[in-house]
Chains A and B, each alone.
Chain A
Amino acid sequence: MMYSFFKTFRLALILFFCCGRLAAQEQILVEAESFQEKGGWVVDQQSFPVLHSSYLMAHGMGRPVKDAETYVHFPKKGAYRVWVRTKDWAPYPVGPGKFKVYVDGKALAPTFGESGDSAWKWYDGGKVKVDRDSVSIRLQDLTGFNGRVDVMLFVDDSQQITPPNDLVALDKLRNDLLGLRAKRKEMGHYDLVVVGGGIAGTCAAISAARLGLKVALVQDRPLLGGNNSSEVRVHLMGDLDKSYYPKLGRIVRELDNGDPGNGNPNAKEYGDARKFAIIKDEKNISLFINTHVFEAETENNTIHAVIGRDIETNQEKRFTGTYFADCTGDGTLGFLAGADFRMGRESKQETGESFAPDTADNFTLGTSNLWASLPVDSVTSFPETPWALPFSDEYHIDEVQSDWQWETGFGNFNTITEAEQIRDHNLRAIYGNWSYLKRHKPEKYAKRELAWVAYIGGKRESRRLMGDHILTQMDVQEGKMYPDATVTATWTIDLHFPDKKNSLYFPDEEFFAGTKHVRVAPYTIPYRCLYSRNINNLFMAGRDISTTHVAFGSTRVMRTCGMMGEVVGMAAFVAKEHQTSPRGVYQKHLAEFMGMIKGEESGLSIQPKYLQQ
């Protein structure tokens, strides 16, 4: 009974937020990601920085997904023109992401998603007659191949309104019709606001919370763990047992669910439940999943608050804090706050690194969308994919499951502004190759089916926020021990490049990587790499810390990133107790802070609460 009440209440809330209307103009905006019943469609927020919205996508691996449906209240009956904002994601020449829209049970005339145009645009869905208060809108996927919808708009047909594609005007339209700002919620004040719930962010939040800080952990997906979650399925790398400071890595160990390898078809292997259970036990942590941070309020280079938006309901939330930690991977918070950052490779001349290129460029490591197939009892088919990358006897990848090499980026695409294109390129490679294998290698693949294909990209590299120290190849290879040496890193300098053969067949469109591991002795990462050099209260942990591109090749693996989170939690504690900045911890309280890192809490001037008890 109670469950039913809450479910109804939740649906009512969603309905309230998903549909916006402007009475004067009789426009009704329906965000696709806010549909009450999503059926088999999934919410994708990865392109929020570009679209300023999430969208709904039919990710069926070639089998049409179950319909999504929602009910919309129309204040006025009559004729409306329907606009659907969508795209053809693979216009080569026409993509497969086809879907139909039904209003009150009747299909709109156009079939969407097959325009041959890759730009997100409004498409005229024709006229509908609304003769009741509440009308069902249903999305019917026709292919299972990633058709997608951002938003729909119903306009009183007596008014000749074409909705804008310009982002500023579109933001205004969303805000006006959904009342986003007006309905924004205050989520309270925190000692530390951790943005990003990957391994680094989760460790930072736990570390700080266990030292008594009040922490908000804000994550833009429904799961914790980031690249190690079951949505991405990358295993944890980097050694914990070679640490100069045995205390570091304890939280990472708690989160570690064993090593299922990359792209394991069994989602449970990645321990989503374990991560939630650990966070649930932390009374000082308030967890906000499904919340994408898109705005930072700053003054005098200090962040006062961040604003997040729920990726489904579009409810906006404001978090104020004393300290903030950017554990987003993309350096999203730092970027919003105006932190200094780099993206791409520095030149040899700039850094003096032997592995740096002669001239600086935009090259970054790529993004993986892992996948796996499983054996089935009978022969199964897979659709032809003329829109995907072409494969032949001459070139195909003869594998039943992916590994890290399935990777797109390499400077061909910007890993932030073209994250959607990167994912889609990966999908074109996966589906094109799989279609080839099913058709041309039946002896091995006839009785196999795609069990799982990631629609969330496992991103390796984007922005690196600059700190008071920028870790270099020399630091890594020479094992320099700075006075603020914290995390011990062990991973090789692992810089990926397009696989040579892949480059030959897909020049500038590579999707398969190679690497050459350069072994390193265990070395340490100075604390000064873990806070921003120009934003006074901003920490970093994860792949966006202050390193060069070359050094990043080693620091980026997740156990190492998790330890950075642990260090940030401790630094935030020291900073709070002494009412100083992250830099102040280094400049004025280094001995005390390093005491914590070494596990010598007894030497602290201020005892963490758990020790006081």
Chain B
Amino acid sequence: MKKAYRQVVILLIGCFWWGALIAQEHQQVYTVSAAGVEEPYELVLVYDSAQFPAYFFRDIFTPVCLDSVCKPVRIKLFWDLLGNYLRYEVPPDEPLTKLNHEEFAPEDHERLQEILSNEQSLLKDFKMEELVDRNTQKLSDSVDAVTGATKNTVKSEVIEGALYTCYTLWHLAHGPVVGEIQKRTSAMLTDPMLHRFLRDTNFHYVYFALNEVMDTAGIIHPDFLPDVLSVLAGDNVFAARYVWQRIDLRYFAEREQQERLWDIFERTPYTQQLALLKRMSALVLDPHVLNDMASGLSKLNPTLFKQILHVIAAQDLLPSFTQEKLLTYLTSADQEKSRLVYETLKNHSNLDEPLKKQLSLYKKP
């Protein structure tokens, strides 16, 4: 019994040790030396449970200074793998403070997170000494104790009473560390990482990976085609448009691929539908897809109706079913639709007799 108990304890200790060992492996520490700018500092890469790189962080102990007056700030800043700022943490026993050592309230933390998340903050273009009107500043024992002197242009970019804290942290979050992180991510980039990036909800990863797997002519590394097509079909309309505007149309030469494209069209938001139609005229469309398009015309608003007509009319050959559908619009009571069909098809050189005849009989309303 005792032996069994001992074995269980040993096993537990072993598990704990193994767990601790693994946990240790979940982080990689880099020492960054930025020439002539700062002291060397540690940048930590954290891996997720699947051993994929997840994010970077840095423990910072920095003075927030103006002239000779400084106060220390201890804070942990987090970035994604491309150096985009994510969030911060402050130790409970060393809170951030404002004017006259007043602790940050919850709303100040919310505001600071907003400020630090704004990559385009006006703080970017300011030097520290430009933040205040030098004629009006009055320093007390706190460096953020600048009363009534913050320049109007940066007032909306900082927390009142924490001007220099905001400024210093913003420049740490968006400073040279960004390049350091990108350098390290590029160095460890693998295909599995790119697959994950392309399906990540972080849009920065998606664009980064797209640029890695797709060249300027829109040719995609074959291993990544399904991932890229998932971006095209995805919810991020901006990324989908980015793919569609660049992708080589060779990937939509066959019926199956075109049917998938048409399926995407039917499910995608309106603006993306218009973007899809702009390039679809350049495809030689399969008859089945053309028939699907012609069948769907009745459900469309006038703008989409017109755009799809242009796609159809751009085809050298139109299947009979498609032509029959168009014929029904040409003879319908809806004068606007019949006019559009007439205008779009009147110069088509390869139509069946019934449609040709009806076009010749058409009279403008």
Q: Which residues of A approach B to under 8 Å, CB–CB?
A: 88, 91-94, 115-118, 386-387, 389-390, 392-395, 398, 443-444, 501, 505
- How far in angstroms is the closest Cβ of chain B from A28? 26
| Pair B236/A116 contact, Cβ less than 8 Å | no
Set of chain A residues within 8 Å of B303, measured between Cβ atoms: 91, 93, 116, 118
Set of chain B residues within 8 Å of A92, measured between Cβ atoms: 270-271
| Pair A386/B270 contact, Cβ less than 8 Å | yes
| Pair B301/A94 contact, Cβ less than 8 Å | yes
| Those of B187-209 within 8 Å (CB) of chain A | 201, 203
Set of chain A residues within 8 Å of B237, measured between Cβ atoms: 390, 392
Residue of A93, A116, A390, A398 touching B114 (CB-CB under 8 A): A398
- How far in angstroms is the closest Cβ of chain A from B50? 23
| Pair B203/A386 contact, Cβ less than 8 Å | no
Set of chain A residues within 8 Å of B235, measured between Cβ atoms: 392
- How far in angstroms is the closest Cβ of chain A from B186? 22
| Pair B269/A394 contact, Cβ less than 8 Å | no
Asked if B362 is at the interface (CB within 8 A of a chain A CB), the reply is no
Asked if B238 is at the interface (CB within 8 A of a chain A CB), the reply is yes
A contact face: mostly helix, strand, loop, or mixed: loop
Set of chain A residues within 8 Å of B271, measured between Cβ atoms: 92, 389-390
| Pair B203/A392 contact, Cβ less than 8 Å | yes
Residue of A88, A386, A505 touching B269 (CB-CB under 8 A): A386
Set of chain B residues within 8 Å of A387, measured between Cβ atoms: 270
A398 to B118: give the CA distance in the assembly, Å: 10
Residue of A nearest to B237 (CB): A390
| Pair A93/B236 contact, Cβ less than 8 Å | no
| Pair B304/A93 contact, Cβ less than 8 Å | yes
- How far in angstroms is the closest Cβ of chain A from B215? 21
Set of chain A residues within 8 Å of B203, measured between Cβ atoms: 392-394
Set of chain A residues within 8 Å of B114, measured between Cβ atoms: 398
Residue of B120, B269, B302 touching A117 (CB-CB under 8 A): B302
- How far in angstroms is the closest Cβ of chain A from B301? 3
Asked if B239 is at the interface (CB within 8 A of a chain A CB), the reply is yes
- How far in angstroms is the closest Cβ of chain A from B203? 4
Asked if B217 is at the interface (CB within 8 A of a chain A CB), the reply is no
B contact face: mostly helix, strand, loop, or mixed: helix
Set of chain B residues within 8 Å of A386, measured between Cβ atoms: 269-270
Residue of A91, A389, A390, A444 touching B302 (CB-CB under 8 A): A91
| Pair B301/A444 contact, Cβ less than 8 Å | no
Set of chain A residues within 8 Å of B269, measured between Cβ atoms: 386, 390
| Those of B112-149 within 8 Å (CB) of chain A | 114, 120
| Pair B270/A93 contact, Cβ less than 8 Å | yes
Residue of B nearest to A444 (CB): B110
Task: Give me 16 A-to-B residue pairs in the complex whose CB atoms sit less than 8 angstroms apart, sorted by A's number.
Answer: A91-B303, A93-B273, A93-B303, A116-B300, A116-B301, A116-B302, A116-B303, A118-B302, A386-B270, A390-B237, A390-B269, A392-B235, A393-B203, A393-B236, A394-B236, A394-B238
Given A93-B303, A116-B301, A393-B201, 20 further pairs, Cβ under 8 A: A88-B301, A91-B303, A93-B270, A93-B273, A93-B304, A94-B301, A115-B301, A116-B300, A387-B270, A389-B271, A390-B269, A392-B235, A392-B237, A392-B238, A393-B203, A393-B236, A395-B238, A443-B110, A444-B110, A501-B120
A94 to B269: give the CA distance in the assembly, Å: 11
- How far in angstroms is the closest Cβ of chain A from B176? 23
| Pair B238/A91 contact, Cβ less than 8 Å | no
| Those of B255-285 within 8 Å (CB) of chain A | 269-271, 273
| Pair B236/A392 contact, Cβ less than 8 Å | yes
Set of chain A residues within 8 Å of B238, measured between Cβ atoms: 390, 392, 394-395, 505
Q: Which residues of B approach A to under 8 Å, CB–CB?
A: 110, 114, 120, 201, 203, 235-239, 269-271, 273, 300-304
The 5 closest A-B pairs by CB, nearest first: A116-B301, A92-B270, A394-B203, A93-B301, A390-B237
A395 to B204: give the CA distance in the assembly, Å: 12
| Pair A91/B236 contact, Cβ less than 8 Å | no
Residue of B nearest to A394 (CB): B203
A91 to B306: give the CA distance in the assembly, Å: 14
A444 to B107: give the CA distance in the assembly, Å: 10
A117 to B120: give the CA distance in the assembly, Å: 39
Given the interface pairs A92-B270, A387-B270, A444-B110, the reply to whether A394 lies near B239 with Cβ below 8 Å is: yes
Residue of B nearest to A387 (CB): B270
A230 to B140: give the CA distance in the assembly, Å: 43
A119 to B303: give the CA distance in the assembly, Å: 11
A104 to B215: give the CA distance in the assembly, Å: 66
- How far in angstroms is the closest Cβ of chain B from A132? 34
Set of chain B residues within 8 Å of A505, measured between Cβ atoms: 238
Set of chain B residues within 8 Å of A91, measured between Cβ atoms: 301-303
Set of chain A residues within 8 Å of B236, measured between Cβ atoms: 392-394
Residue of A nearest to B241 (CB): A505
A382 to B208: give the CA distance in the assembly, Å: 33
Residue of B nearest to A501 (CB): B120
A505 to B238: give the CA distance in the assembly, Å: 7
| Residue of A93, A117, A386, A444 with most chain B CB atoms under a 10 A cut-off | A93
- How far in angstroms is the closest Cβ of chain A from B125? 12
A88 to B238: give the CA distance in the assembly, Å: 26
- How far in angstroms is the closest Cβ of chain B from A61? 22
A116 to B304: give the CA distance in the assembly, Å: 10
A117 to B340: give the CA distance in the assembly, Å: 14
Set of chain A residues within 8 Å of B270, measured between Cβ atoms: 92-93, 386-387
- How far in angstroms is the closest Cβ of chain A from B276? 13
A444 to B106: give the CA distance in the assembly, Å: 13
Residue of B nearest to A94 (CB): B301
Set of chain A residues within 8 Å of B300, measured between Cβ atoms: 93, 116
- How far in angstroms is the closest Cβ of chain B from A332? 31
- How far in angstroms is the closest Cβ of chain A from B285? 21
Set of chain A residues within 8 Å of B239, measured between Cβ atoms: 394
A116 to B303: give the CA distance in the assembly, Å: 8
| Pair A117/B301 contact, Cβ less than 8 Å | yes
A501 to B301: give the CA distance in the assembly, Å: 30
A386 to B267: give the CA distance in the assembly, Å: 12
| Residue of A117, A390, A398, A505 with most chain B CB atoms under a 10 A cut-off | A390
Residue of B nearest to A121 (CB): B336
- How far in angstroms is the closest Cβ of chain B from A156? 23
A393 to B202: give the CA distance in the assembly, Å: 9
A486 to B235: give the CA distance in the assembly, Å: 58
Set of chain A residues within 8 Å of B201, measured between Cβ atoms: 393
Residue of A nearest to B207 (CB): A394
- How far in angstroms is the closest Cβ of chain B from A54? 26
Residue of A nearest to B236 (CB): A392
- How far in angstroms is the closest Cβ of chain B from A111? 15
Residue of B nearest to A114 (CB): B301
Set of chain B residues within 8 Å of A501, measured between Cβ atoms: 120
- How far in angstroms is the closest Cβ of chain B from A86? 15
